């Protein structure tokens, strides 16, 4: 019997006397069904398919994980974590809180990086301080933050303080509304050891400062949160990892 050019489906010859048309249609339909499935192996949201070494058959590649990129390994497509260049910063995620009382940032710390940089610029609805906490498994660590800080207030007044075992680290000082911005380095948050935190901040009321902090619990943290003491925040918070050479 005749066959199709590309997939070899069986069809009646032009001169054939088809005695059982239903059977012929079923045979052809079965061939079409088998071929179509071989060309569409995807089973899950986000899957992609690529041509395998077998003609007219494709291979399923399941979706990768967050921040992975599509690359080639051994001559076939594969998902992989991008290797950074040198010791620069690698963007991890950006958050854009809009009138929220808390901005949680889960699953941003991992074994890929030892150090992280967090940059923020937010608008406070209330005259309140912006607070920062480490978190894991969806919960904030609410005790044992130690800090020492030096700040310059409006009018040129310089003040410093030391606080121990407090419930959060003030990411900006001064009970004022308006814009508050800063940049923070978080040291070894994913390692089950004490986590160091150093940062600089600036508030719209011309109050700026620098702070060194330490969370004294030896815990592996996977994320953090920013929240105002009262009211809401609106703005942008970006997270970067330091590449490990």
DSSP string across 116-176: EEEEEEEEEEEEE-EEEEEEETTEE--S-EEEEEEEE-TTS-EEEEEEEEESSEESS-SSE
**Domain boundaries defined on the chain:** 2-80, 89-242
Q: What percent of the chain has pLDDT over 70?
A: 86
- Please give the span between the terminal C-alpha atoms of the chain, in angstroms, as a whole number: 64
CA distance 63 to 44: 8
Q: What is the CATH number of domain 89-242?
A: 2.60.120
- Contact between residue 197 and residue 184 where contact means Cβ atoms under 8 Å apart: yes
- Convert the pLDDT of each residue in 168-181 to its tens digit: 998 887 667 788 99
Average pLDDT over residues 22-36: 75
Q: What percent of the chain has pLDDT over 90?
A: 48
CA distance 51 to 87: 37
- Is the whole model's pTM more than 0.75, yes or no? no
């Amino acid at each position: 019997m005749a066959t199709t050019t590309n997939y070899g489906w069986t069809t009646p010859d032009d001169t054939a006397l088809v005695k059982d048309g239903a059977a012929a249609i079923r045979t052809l339909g079965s061939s079409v069904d088998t071929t179509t499935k071989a060309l569409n192996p995807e089973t899950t949201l986000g899957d992609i398919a690529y041509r395998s070494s077998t003609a007219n058959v494709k291979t399923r590649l399941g979706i990768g994980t967050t921040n992975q990129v599509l690359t080639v390994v051994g001559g076939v497509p594969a998902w992989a974590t991008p290797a950074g260049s040198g010791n620069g910063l690698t963007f991890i995620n950006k958050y854009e809180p809009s009138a929220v009382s808390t901005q949680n940032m889960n699953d941003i710390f991992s074994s890929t990086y030892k150090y992280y940089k967090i940059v923020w610029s937010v608008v406070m609805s209330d005259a309140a301080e912006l607070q920062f906490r480490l978190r894991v498994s969806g919960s904030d660590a609410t005790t044992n933050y130690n800090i020492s800080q030096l700040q310059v207030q409006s009018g040129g007044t310089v003040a410093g303080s030391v606080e121990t075992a407090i419930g959060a680290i003030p990411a900006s000082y001064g009970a004022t509304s308006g814009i508050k911005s800063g940049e923070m380095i978080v040291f070894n948050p994913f390692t089950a050891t004490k986590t160091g935190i150093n940062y600089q901040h600036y508030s719209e009321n011309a109050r700026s400062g620098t702070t060194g902090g330490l969370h004294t619990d030896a815990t592996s943290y996977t994320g953090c949160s920013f929240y105002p003491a009262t009211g809401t925040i609106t703005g942008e918070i970006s997270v970067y990892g330091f590449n490990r050479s």
